[in-house]
Amino acid sequence: MNALVCTNTSKFFKRWQKTKSNGNPHLLGRFKSSISRRREEIKAVDDISFNVDRGEIFGIVGPNGSGKSTLIRLICTLLLPDSGRIEVFGRDVVKEHFQVRQIINRVSVEASFFKKLSSMENLMYAARLYGVDSALAKQKAVEILSRLGFKEDRVTESMQELSRGMQQKVAIARALLTSPSLLLMDEPTTGLDPRSKRDVQEFVKEIREEQDTTVVITSHDMDEVDNLCDRVAIIDNVKFMALDTPIELKRLVGSDLENISLEDVFMKLTGKELEEADK
Amino acid sequence: MMNMRISRELIASFAFVDRNFSLLKRYLGWELVFLCYSVINVITIGFIMVGRGDNSDVLYLVIGALMWGFLSVVFHEVSESVSWERWEGTIEYTFMAPILRFTHLAGSCSFAILYSMLRIGIVLALMPLFFDIDLSNANIPTAVVTLVISSLSFLGLGLMAAVLPLMSTEKGSYATHIMGSLLMLVSGVYYEVDVLPNWIRPFSVISPGTYTLRSMRAAIMNNASIAARLPDLVILLIIGIVLIPLGLWVFHLGEIYAKKTGKLKRSG
């Protein structure tokens, strides 16, 4: 069984946009056009289809606003798709959202904690919501945190006193406390120092080996997904441009695989550099 | 299996209560500010009547201020639970947790009642330091029953108001505060609702605050028994029975809307 099946999924958002002034010379006309707004439909994810195998580490790379986070939020039941279907281990994320929530967890780009509570208090709170026994959760939290290089004596410090890297490690511990079958990581290493980044990447590999966890990871970092992922989807303008193993993606550019990066693949497919696309 | 599920949901519900009390300890400075404000608010209102030499009216106003203190805290704690989580940045994690929405909201409501009781208890305990209040005529069982039954309707109202910040971050919060203020206006917190203009009076008939304050004043000032206050208590109970499921349903609709429009996120 596939861990994740996404079929022709699309998501649109409606936003009010101010209409441009029509150059009306009259005061009333100018006032009317200054307050008139129209509803515009913005595509956030456009007809995306893919499967993720059980135990696979699947990467999604693309610039800001390309639809990565929307896709993750659709999978983790925080958004309803406008069309298409998403299944997690055979369960529909819309109709069976309760069951899906029991087997997934997520690490988002922002740490998202109660800032005044300590990391342990935040973790115990999360454990209770997921029905994990407190004693077991405490033991597991310490194990995961120490594996990530988080000192045990800091678990009682409030989250606001921790660095961004340490907060992100607590976020990873929170997700893994619940032993998810599918772990969704939305730019988990953005803003981390190189050492913390490496710790997180190694840990992702480890949990796949040890717990058979399926991981979907979005990133800006082409090298990260190249090293970490079994398969990578390149997303731009809310559409998947390509999906394959890193090696097969590089073959799209040329045969000198050692000197071709995923950045080159992105350029070949979209005609722009990732940084340029971010702007 | 069923028992396990219920116990899991109860533990999850308790998680919200425990989390909020832990947060309360961390924001103790602000809690002292709010408490200080509540105490001084009740005292200053009471002193208006002390200056006029009418002790029974002191009690009338103090009951109004205390009850409003209790009910408005219940209302705001529930109605602002979504705004609070959005501000902390945890809203997405709470909404994707594998628990029933009822469990989540029951946890928030339980905390609201416990917290309001704690706050009002402290304010009440301080009142004898400022006023010579005669409570020999008070019927405590009637007062407690009124408090419990009225909490239900205010929880229902809070649940309905909680949906507003879910639908629009900033405007929703404004609307919640306006809703709270309007309830105060129409419920006769410091006056009899008869003094309201005719066009406002129908609102006081549907406000649970009206029956709560009337019943509480009768219990504390005139030793009214539960049987004597039964008409008001039954109305309050009916309002509560209607408003809680209605509040849950409205919240459910609001959650679907937020998931369709992408508003279920930290930045709104």
Q: With a threshold of 0.80, does the pTM exceed it?
A: yes
Indicate the pLDDT class of residue A110, thresholds 50, 70 and 90: confident
Please say whether the dihedral angle defined by the alpha carbons of residues A154, A209, A57 and A275, taken in this order, is positive or negative. Answer: positive
Using the predicted structure, report yes or no on whether residue B268 has a pLDDT greater than 60: no
Q: What is the pLDDT of residue A194?
A: 87
A44 neighbourhood in chain B, CB within 8 Å: 262
Report whether A136 contacts A213 (CB < 8 A): no
The proportion of chain B whose per-residue pLDDT surpasses 70, expressed as a percent, equals 99
Cα separation of A253 and A268, whole Å?
7
Q: Which of A151, A148, A150 is nearest to A201 (CA)?
A: A148
Q: Which of A195, A150, A153 is nearest to A174 (CA)?
A: A150
Q: Say which residue, A35 or B192, is predicted with more confidence.
A: B192
Ramachandran category for residue B262: left, alpha or beta (phi over 0 → left; psi -120 to 50 → alpha): left
HSE (side-chain half, CA atoms, 13 Å) at A165: 14
A113: closest chain B residue by CA:
B90
Nearest to A77 among B15, B96, B260 (CB): B96
A114 neighbourhood in chain B, CB within 8 Å: 19, 23, 88, 90
Q: Looking at this predicted complex, what is its ipTM?
A: 0.88
Using the predicted structure, report yes or no on whether residue A264 has a pLDDT greater than 70: yes
Secondary structure (3-state) at A217: strand
B132-150: average pLDDT: 90
Nearest to B88 among A76, A104, A115 (CB): A115
CB within 8 Å: A106 and B90: no
Hunting for tokens 């203190």 — which residue is that?
B69
A79-97: average pLDDT: 97
Nearest to B12 among A44, A110, A129 (CB): A129
Report the range of poorest mean pLDDT among A41-55, A80-94, B106-120, B156-170. B156-170
What is the tally of helices (H) and strands (E) in chain B?
11, 0
The proportion of chain A whose per-residue pLDDT surpasses 90, expressed as a percent, equals 65
Amino acid present at A143: E
Q: How far is A156 from chain B (nearest CA, A)?
A: 13
Report whether A160 contacts A115 (CB < 8 A): yes
pLDDT in tens, A212-249: 899 999 998 899 999 999 999 999 999 999 999 999 99
- Beta bridge partners, A232, equal A59, A244
Q: How far is B96 from chain A (nearest CA, A)?
A: 6
Q: How far is A36 from chain B (nearest CA, A)?
A: 19
**B160-193 core/surface letters (b: 16 or more CB in 10 A; e: else):** bbbbbbbbebeebbebbeebbeebbebbbbeeeb
Nearest to B23 among A101, A117, A129 (CB): A117
Cα separation of B247 and B240, whole Å?
10
Report the range of poorest mean pLDDT among A24-33, A115-124, A142-151, B36-45. A24-33
Alpha helices in A148-193 (DSSP H): 164-177
A104 neighbourhood in chain B, CB within 8 Å: 96
Secondary structure (3-state) at A42: strand
**Cβ contacts of residue B98 below 8 Å, gap of 6+?**
A98, A101, A102, A129, A130, A131
A139-148: average pLDDT: 91
Report whether B172 contacts B251 (CB < 8 A): no
Cα separation of A19 and B10, whole Å?
51
A126 neighbourhood in chain B, CB within 8 Å: 93, 97
CB within 8 Å: A108 and B92: yes
Q: Supply the CATH classification number for the domain A4-278.
A: 3.40.50.300
